[in-house]
Structure formats: structure tokens, C-alpha cells
């Protein structure tokens, strides 16, 4: 079998490397005499590269070559990835992608084309890098009704937060280190503002609950406003701050989905996930809680997932695997303001004693952190509808809120 790779960046070059390094094993396991990369599409030149002789710049060469039955898309971005992938599927070629932006925005549409053309469209690497998660949900946990899914879905932000928590490092220095290590997206805004985690929770929620969840339906907050002060206060309260993407089934036609920094209590399976590692908790009615853990970013971990998808395509060239979800519907994702939550709050005050009294009368079970500073007060609220919680905070005249972080109980 011959494969074409579109995009020779970090992941694409990793895919070529894994196929070359483990070739015999890969060919044998997928029952192919030959398992090789025939073309690599990229507009850039790679003089002296080990794959220089495979480089092409014209997409039509791939599209029109009947020998290419599986195409790998590792270009990233929506365009022209969307046009290329849909053309390949329409031409009867199976496609494997690591592109979460593409799957989160257009997954339903591309899955529909794949269904109509009886080919496969796989994207294991789009969530969790090297961690098996798409296939476990769609196959191993297929007998379950999944009620909830939550995880640390972005390696870059988890790395940054770990450096802030463990090394007291500034946000900027930690981001630079993550970029140097090749974890971050080309534009790290997607990482630090939570867009990357949003795309991943969209894919997971679509898969778990059967209807497409589009990124603009998911309330998304990143980690750029997290200060070392909050990190320390949360530590003193017995937790850590993590960027969490989560989705929950509320009824047959309603789910919640949100990405935001969250206080995770020490002892939770997600609290000890550090550095570039990701962890995804899936709650099923039969299996209970399962947690998938591993490297969520990086060249070879991500390539590992892409190559496994190619191998699965190779094993299913004649008969596509039943896999996917339907298009989304209006108002399917609930307004996060209407969901109940607990909140960590740091606020400024001129009168700490009065502020404490006011907070205690607004929140029956408020828990306060010890604060050295006389003009700051830090506390955890009761569990209330977020809109109601914000209304109460706005009405406490003795404080001015500086930061708020949702508290989760996974």
C-alpha cells in the first residue's frame, strides 16, 4: 500500500519517520507486502532531507494517482486542508488526519462524505496526541452510555501551568520553553486561549454523545489571566489549577460543554497530571470512570496515533468501519451561565472583616484561604447556578473581584 502525506511539519515528518523506522512491523501487522510513503505534499523545499525525492507541490498528483488509497493530512488549519480532504474522500480515498481544527469544524460533513463513498475518515491523533482515546471510546466503550467526559487536553498549557506551580516560573518563560520543546501550535494563541482544548472537547463530545458540537457553541477561557498569586492560593487550599475541557449529557437533546481553567483538588486523578501530559476521564454507565493518560503533544507520540490510523485504513480498504456522528442541532449546547458550579474567588477589599461577614451571608458554606495581604480575600463559594453566583458576587459591596476560577470535582 502506498500513502501520501500532506504537510511535512512536525507531525507529517514524524509520520514519515515512524513508517520508515518500523516499516517491517507495520507492514506485517497491517497485512501489506509494501507499506510506503509515495508522496509528501508541501509548498516548502527540504534540500538534503531524507525524503526529498518524495516531495511534491501539486495536490492533483495525489488525487489522480489510483495507487494512493490512503491520504494523511497533517497540514493543520482549515484551508486548504478542508478542500483537500473532502476531494480525497470524494475520490474514494480514505483519509487520516491529526487536524483537530478541521475535525472540530467540519467533522460531521467529512464523515458524511466518507460514509457515502464507503471509505474511512480517521482522526485518532486529533485528541490527546499519542493517547488512544477516539478508538477506545468508539470501540472498547461502545457498549456504554457515556454521561460525562473531562480532561486536560492541551499539553502546552499543562506544561506552562506545571512550570508555574512547581517552579514559580513566569507565564512568558514557561510558554517560551513549551515552544522550544515543539509542543505549542504555530500560533500559541490557540493553546493559551483554550481554542485548541475547545476543538478537542468538541470532537470528544461529538463522538460520545452522537451529535456534532461546533467550537463556537463552547464557552472557552484560556490561562492567560492566571497569576502566580492564584496558583499559590489554590495550592494553600489543597488544589492545583488545570485547563479543563469538559462535556456532560444533560438530556437526550441537551449537553453542557466548556473549556476553562479549573481548580482540581489534590488526590483527583487529574491533579497529578503534569508537564506535557494529557489525561481524559470518560464516565460510562457500565464501565464507571476510566482515565486515559499519556503524551498529548510532540512529533513521535502524535505520529504514533496517525500511523495506527493508516494501518486501520489498510485493514479496511474494502469495507469502511462504522464510525462517526450526526450534524449538530440548534440549542444543543446549554448556556454555561445556567449550569451549577463552585467558584474560587480572589477579591480586593478595604475592610476584610466586613468582607468576610458579607461573603458568609451570601454563601452559607464559604471556605476562606489564609491571605498574608490585608487588602485581599480569597474564598471558595457554594455550588450555585453561575448566573446566580455572579449576581451575588456583584452585590457584595465590600469586595471587588480580581479573579474567579471554577472548581471541579473529578
Give catalytic residues, as residue numbers. Answer: 200
**Nearest to 405, CA basis, from 239, 198, 256:** 239
Nearest one of 189, 254, 257 to 219, comparing CA atoms: 257
Range list of β-strands (E), 201-322: 219-220, 239-251, 254-265, 277-284, 288-295
Residue carrying C-alpha cell 512550570: 163
β-pairing, 340-348 with 400-408? antiparallel
Task: Provide the pairing of β-strand 340-348 with 384-385.
Answer: antiparallel
Under the binding rule (CB under 6 A), the answer on residue 260 touching ligand HSE is no
Angle at 147 between CA 141 and CA 153, to 5 degrees: 75
Residue of the chain from 42, 73, 191, 221 that contacts ligand HSE (CB under 6 A): 191
Q: Quick one: cell of 148?
A: 460525562
Asked if residue 196 binds ligand HSE (CB under 6 A), the reply is yes
184 binds ligand HSE (CB under 6 A): yes
| N-to-C CA span, the chain | 44
Does the protein bind ligand HSE through residue 215 (CB under 6 A)?
A: no
Decide whether 110 or 223 has the Cβ nearer to ligand HSE. 223
Among residues 122, 183, 195, 410, the one that binds ligand HSE under rule CB under 6 A: 183
> Is 5 a binder of ligand HSE (CB under 6 A)?
no
Binding span for ligand HSE by CB under 6 A among 29-37, 177-185, 214-222, 383-391: 177-185
When the beta carbons of 212 and 295 are compared against ligand HSE, the nearer one is 295
# binding residues, ligand HSE (CB under 6 A): 11
Among residues 200 and 404, whose Cβ is nearest to ligand HSE? 200
Question: Cα separation of 75 and 12, whole Å?
Answer: 8
Please list the residues that pair with 243 across neighbouring strands. Answer: 261
The nearer residue to ligand HSE, 159 or 233, going by C-beta atoms, is: 159
Site map for ligand HSE, 131-160, x if CB under 6 A? -----------------------xxx----
Report the residue number, 184 or 202, with the smaller CB distance to ligand HSE. 184
Chain position carrying cell 510506503: 36
Candidates 34-42, 184-192, 202-210, 283-291; binding stretch for ligand HSE (CB under 6 A): 184-192
Establish how many alpha carbons lie within 13 A of residue 335's alpha carbon, considering only the half-sphere containing its beta carbon.
5
Residues making contact with ligand HSE (CB under 6 A)? 129, 154-156, 183-185, 191, 196, 296-297
Amino acid at each position: 500500500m502506498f500513502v501520501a502525506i500532506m504537510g511535512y511539519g512536525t507531525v507529517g515528518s514524524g509520520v514519515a519517520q515512524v513508517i520508515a523506522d518500523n516499516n517491517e512491523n507495520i507492514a506485517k501487522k497491517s497485512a501489506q507486502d509494501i507499506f510506503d510513503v509515495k508522496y509528501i505534499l508541501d509548498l516548502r523545499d527540504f534540500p538534503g532531507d531524507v525524503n526529498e525525492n518524495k516531495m511534491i507541490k501539486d495536490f492533483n498528483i495525489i488525487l489522480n494517482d489510483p495507487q494512493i488509497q490512503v491520504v494523511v493530512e497533517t497540514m493543520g488549519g482549515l484551508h486548504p486542508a478542508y478542500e483537500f480532504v473532502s476531494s480525497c474522500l470524494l475520490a474514494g480515498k480514505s483519509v487520516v488526519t491529526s487536524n483537530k481544527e478541521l475535525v472540530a469544524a467540519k467533522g460531521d460533513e467529512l464523515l458524511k462524505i466518507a460514509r457515502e463513498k464507503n471509505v474511512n475518515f480517521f482522526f485518532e491523533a486529533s485528541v490527546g496526541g499519542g493517547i488512544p482515546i477516539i478508538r477506545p471510546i468508539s470501540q472498547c466503550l461502545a457498549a456504554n452510555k457515556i454521561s460525562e467526559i473531562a480532561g486536560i487536553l492541551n499539553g502546552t498549557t499543562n506544561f506552562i501551568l506545571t512550570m508555574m506551580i512547581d517552579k514559580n516560573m513566569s507565564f512568558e518563560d514557561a510558554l517560551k520553553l513549551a515552544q522550544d520543546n515543539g509542543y505549542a501550535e504555530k500560533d500559541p494563541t490557540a493553546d493559551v486561549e483554550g481554542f485548541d482544548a475547545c476543538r478537542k472537547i468538541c470532537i470528544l463530545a461529538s463522538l460520545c454523545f452522537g451529535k456534532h458540537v461546533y467550537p463556537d457553541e463552547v464557552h472557552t477561557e484560556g490561562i492567560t489571566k492566571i497569576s502566580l498569586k492564584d496558583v499559590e492560593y489554590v495550592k494553600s487550599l489543597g488544589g492545583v489549577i488545570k485547563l479543563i475541557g469538559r462535556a456532560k449529557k444533560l438530556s437526550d437533546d441537551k449537553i453542557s460543554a466548556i473549556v476553562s481553567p479549573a481548580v482540581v483538588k489534590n488526590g483527583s486523578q487529574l491533579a497529578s497530571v503534569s508537564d506535557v501530559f494529557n489525561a481524559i476521564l470518560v464516565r460510562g454507565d457500565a464501565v464507571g470512570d476510566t482515565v486515559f493518560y499519556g503524551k498529548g503533544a510532540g512529533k513521535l507520540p502524535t505520529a504514533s496515533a496517525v500511523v495506527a490510523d493508516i494501518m486501520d485504513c489498510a485493514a479496511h480498504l474494502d469495507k469502511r468501519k462504522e464510525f462517526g456522528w450526526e450534524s449538530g442541532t440548534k440549542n444543543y449546547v446549554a448556556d454555561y451561565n445556567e449550569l451549577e458550579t463552585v467558584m474560587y474567588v480572589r477579591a480586593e477589599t478595604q475592610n476584610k472583616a466586613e468582607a468576610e461577614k458579607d461573603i458568609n451571608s451570601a454563601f452559607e458554606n464559604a471556605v476562606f484561604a489564609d491571605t498574608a495581604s490585608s487588602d485581599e480575600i480569597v474564598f471558595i463559594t457554594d455550588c450555585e447556578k453561575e448566573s446566580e453566583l455572579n449576581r451575588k458576587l456583584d452585590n457584595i459591596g465590600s469586595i471587588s473581584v480580581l479573579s474567579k476560577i471554577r472548581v471541579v470535582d473529578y
